[in-house]
Structure 1
Amino acid sequence: MDVVDVVDEHSGSDADKVAIFTRNFSPSNGISQVISQQISELASAGKDVSVFCFKNRFDSVEYSSVTSLYSPDNAILSGMYDIVSPFNPVSTSALLRSLREFDAAIVHQYPFDVVSHLCKKMHGTAYIRWYHHDLEARESGKGFVNKVHIRINSVLKTRIPSYLDPDVVCTVSKSSREEFERKTGKEAIVVQNKVNTERFSDPKTPDELEVTYGLDPTRPTIVYVGRINTNKNIHDLVEAYNDVSETVRDVQLILVGEIQEEQYAKELTDMACGEVFLTGWVSDDTLAGIYSVADVYSSASISEGFNLPIAEARLFDCPIVVFDIPPHRENLSDYDRGYLVDPGDLSTFSDALARSLSERRHDE
C-alpha cells in the first residue's frame, strides 16, 4: 500500500485535489523528504497536490504548489504559535475557505489536525493522519526547557489526532504503529517510508567532494546523515569514533545535516580526537557522492520512527552500524551488512565500526 492507495480508499478513486500539511517544509527535514516522495507518487497518479506549511525552505517544488502560512519569525514565539494557532478564528476560517475544494487532507504534524477535522465535518474532506514518531522527553537531549517542549509536542501529536478521529492513521513503520496504538488505544496501518532513488541519480565525484569539503576519499570514512542536535545522540557516535581512531589509521567522520544547535556542533568537534567534518545541509547529488565514498554508515540515535538515511545508505551497499531499537531492527531485517548493538554499549559499537571499516576496505 502507498499514499495513492490510502487517498483513493478514503476519498474515492476520482479524488483529484490533495492537501498536505506540515509545520516546516525543508529539504533538510526527514518528514519533508517523505512529503516530497508523496507528492511525486500522487502527481504520477494524476492528483493535484498542494502543500501548506508555516515555513517553506525549498527553492522550488516539482508537481506541487506550496502555501506558506503566517508564523512569527522568532523561534520561541513560533513554537508558541504552533500550539495556539488552531484557536485563531481568523486564520482558521481563512484556511477552511481555501480548502473547500480539496478531496483529501494529509496531516503530518500538529497543529493542522484541527482544521482538517473541521474540513471533514464541513466539506466531507478525507482526514488522513501520517504519524512518524513521538520523541519521549526521557529520550531527548539536554535541558529542562527542551524536555518540556518535547513533552508538550508528545501530547499534541498523539492525543489530538486520537480525539479528532481521522479517517485513517498511517504510520511509517511497524514500531511507529505499535507506539501510536499503545499511546492512544486507536488502530493504525503501516505505510513504510520509501527512498526516492531519483534523488541520487547523479552523485558528485570524489574529486568534487575533496575540492568542496576537503574530504579525502582514500581515507577510511564513517558517515552520519541527519539533523545535528542533542536528540540524535551524536556525541556517542563521536565517542565511538574516538575509540576507532586509536586502531584505524586516518579514519574520518563526516556529519551531514542541518546544524540546529550551534553550541552542540562545537562540542562535537571539540571532543573529537580525529578529523570531523560538519557539512551542514547538502544537495542530493552531494549526499549521493558522500554515501558513495562511505566505508560505513552509522548513527547513535536511540529514538526514531523509521530513520530514512539507513534505507538510503543501503542503496549504496554501505555497512551500517546502529543501536538496536525497533525501527532499526525493522529496517535491517533483510540486510546482511547491518550491525545492531545494544543501546549504550559503546565498546561493542566501536568494535562494530572498526570491523565494518576493515571489511569494507578489504572488499575494495
Structure 2
Amino acid sequence: MMEHEFRKCKTIVELVDRIIENSGKRVAICGWALKGSGGDCRVIEQQAKDLFDNGYDVTIFVLEADISLPQGVKIEVIGLPKNSYLSRIYRLIFPLIIYKMFKYAKKLEEFDLIICHRYPLVYLCYFAKKLYGIKYIYWFHHYPDPSHFPSLMHKLWIKLIGWLEAKSCPVKKADIICSVSEFSRRQLKEVGNIDSIVIPNKVRKLKKGVYSIELRHKYGIKENEYVMLFVGRIVPYKNIHSLIRVYKLVKNSIPNLKLVIVGNPSTKDYFEKLKEIADDGVIFTGYIPDEDLYGLYSISDVYVTCSLLEGFDLPLKEAELFGLPAVAFDIPAHREVAGPNTILVKKDNIEQFAKAVLKILQQKKLSKTQKGCVN
C-alpha cells in the first residue's frame, strides 16, 4: 500500500475511510494499555470515539485498562500481572506466549482493519496479518531517549522498547505507518529509516467540570492562590524536578502560589524523589476524571511544562483551548503545536523559564488588582 496516497488525510476517520472503503466497518485498536496517565492512551480513546461516531464498530485490545470507555466502544483486556516488574517482563515476552498470540489473532480475524499503538501488540497485529491477511496501521508516537532515565536498568529497558517500537520488523511491515507530528516523522526516519504519513493528535473535548469553589476546596487551593498547572505522566523525561525548581523561584516573588501536577507516576523512584524536593504548595493529584481536569484548566493561571521530549503534547493544546497562557521548553514538538499564548524558553534555562512564568502571573495580579479582586 503506497503511503503517498494517504498523505492528504487529516484525521483518523478520513484515513480509515480511504483504506477500507466499502469493504467493512469493523475496526480494532490495539495498545499496550488504556490508562488515564498516558498520552498514547488518550489518543486511543479519542480515535475509538471518533470512529464510533462515524459509524464504525470499534473494539479496543489492551493488556490492561483503568479508565471508562467512550459510549458504544467495546474492549478486550488481555491481562497483565499486578507486580510492576513482572508486568514489564510479561510485556516484553508477550509475543513469545504462543497460545495468547493465536487466541487473539483469531479474534482479530473478525475485523476489517487494525490500528496499532506501540509494543507488544504490534507483534500481534503482524501475526494476524500473516495468518489472515488483515491490514494494520502502526501509529508512532515518539522515540524515547534512554539518557533521561537514571538507572542502568531503566536505560536498557527504554532502549529496548525504543528499538521494538521504531526499528522492528512488525513496524516496517505495517500497511500504513502514521506519526503524530512532523517531529515524530523525522525521528522515525532518522532512527528506523522508516517514512510515515502525519496525522496530528486530536484534542479531546473534556466533560464540563465542577464549580470552581468546590474544586479548589477538593484540591486544597485557596481563592487567593495562583495556580501553575502541569498534566502528564510522571516520568524523568517530563523533567518535573525542574518544574518544581521553577515553582520555587516564582514563589519567592508570589508566595500565594500552588503547583498542581496531574498524572500518575510511571517510575516509582522518580516520584519519590519529586516528593522529597516538593513543599506543601506542590499538589500531586494522580489520575483525575475529565470533569476535574476541565475545572483545573479553568481555574489555573498558567500552564507549564519543562518536558524534554514529546511526540505531540496534548495537554499543551488542551490548555490553549481554555485560553490559558503557557510556558514550555523550546523542543521540536512544542514548536510544532504551540499556540500564540505559549512562550517557548530555551531548553534547560530554568531562570528564564521562571521569569516568563512570573511575568504572566504579575500581569494577572495587576489585572485582578485593577478590577478590585485582590485586597
TM interval, short-chain normalised: over 0.9
Cα deviation code 1:250-302 (max 9, x no counterpart): 11111111133455334334324561111111110101111111110001110
Deviation at 1:230, TM superposition (A): 2.2
1:103 deviates by 0.6
**Counterpart for residue 356 of structure 1:** 360
Secondary structure of the 1:9 match is: helix
Q: Which residue of 2 aligns with 1:22?
A: 31
Matches within 5 A, 1:34-113: 34-113=43-122
Would the alpha carbon gap of residues 161 and 65 (structure 1) be closer, same or farther in structure 2, given more than 3 Å must change?
farther
Using the aligned pairs only, state the percent identity: 30
- Judged with a 3 Å threshold, the aligned counterparts in structure 2 of structure 1 residues 166 and 271 are, in CA distance, closer, same or farther, namely same
Distance 2:164 2:268 in 1: 27
Q: Encode CA deviations 1:84-119: one digit per residue, 9 max, x unaligned.
A: 211222111111111112111111011112221232
CA distance in 1, matches of 2:329, 2:293: 23
In 1: Cα distance, 2:267 partner to 2:135 partner:
38
Aligned in 2, Cα 1:163/1:312: closer, same or farther, shift over 3 Å? closer
In the alignment, structure 1 residue 293 sits paired with structure 2 residue 302: no
Q: Residue 169 of structure 1 is aligned with which of 159, 177, 195?
A: 177
Q: What is the CA–CA distance in structure 1 between the aligned matches of 2:53 and 2:161, rounded to whole Å?
A: 33
CA deviation map 1:24-83 (0-9, x unaligned): 111222111111111111111211100111111124542211111133232212212212
Equivalent runs, 1:197-236 vs 2, <5 Å: 197=205, 199-200=206-207, 202-236=208-242
The answer for the alignment partner of 2:200 in structure 1 is 192
Amino acid at match of 1:347: E
Whole-angstrom CA distance in 1 between matches of 2:191 and 2:117: 17
Amino acid at match of 1:37: Q
Letter in 1 for 2:112: D
Equivalent position SS for 1:113: helix
Question: In the alignment, does 2:167 pair up with 1:143?
Answer: no
Partner Cα distance (2:303, 2:237) in 1: 18
**SS where residue 168 of structure 2 aligns?**
helix
Which residue in 1 is equivalent to 2:4? none
Structure 2 residue 16 is matched with structure 1 residue 12: no
Alpha-carbon distance change, 211 to 163 in structure 1, aligned in 2, over 3 angstroms: closer
SS in 1 for 2:58: strand
User: For residue 268 of structure 1, what is the aligned residue in structure 2?
Assistant: 274
**Matched residues in 2 for 1:73 and 1:268: separation?**
24
Q: Distance in 1 between matches of 2:154 and 2:262?
A: 23
> Does the C-alpha gap of structure 1 residues 112 and 263 become closer, same or farther in structure 2, counting only changes over 3 Å?
closer
1:5-32 superposed Cα distances (whole Å, 9 cap, x missing partner): 2222222344211111111111222111
Give the aligned partner of residue 347 of structure 1: 351
Segments of 5+ residues of structure 1 without an aligned counterpart are: none
Shift of 1:303: 0.7
Given the two structures, how large is their TM-score scaled by the length of structure 1? 0.94
Distance (whole Å) between structure 2 residues aligned to residue 296 and residue 236 of structure 1:
16
CA drift of 1:304 comes to 0.7
Structure-to-structure mapping, 1:250-265, within 5 angstroms = 250-265=256-271
CA contact (8 A) 1:113 1:160 kept: no
Native 8 Å contact 1:251 1:274 kept in 2: no
User: How many residues are treated as equivalent by the alignment?
Assistant: 359
The change in CA–CA distance for 1:161 and 1:48 in structure 2 (over 3 A counts) is farther
- Judge conservation of contact 2:126–2:170 (CA < 8 Å) in 1: no
Aligned residue type for 1:296? V
Contact 2:136 2:175 in 1 (8 A): yes
Distance 1:153 1:188, change over 3 A: same
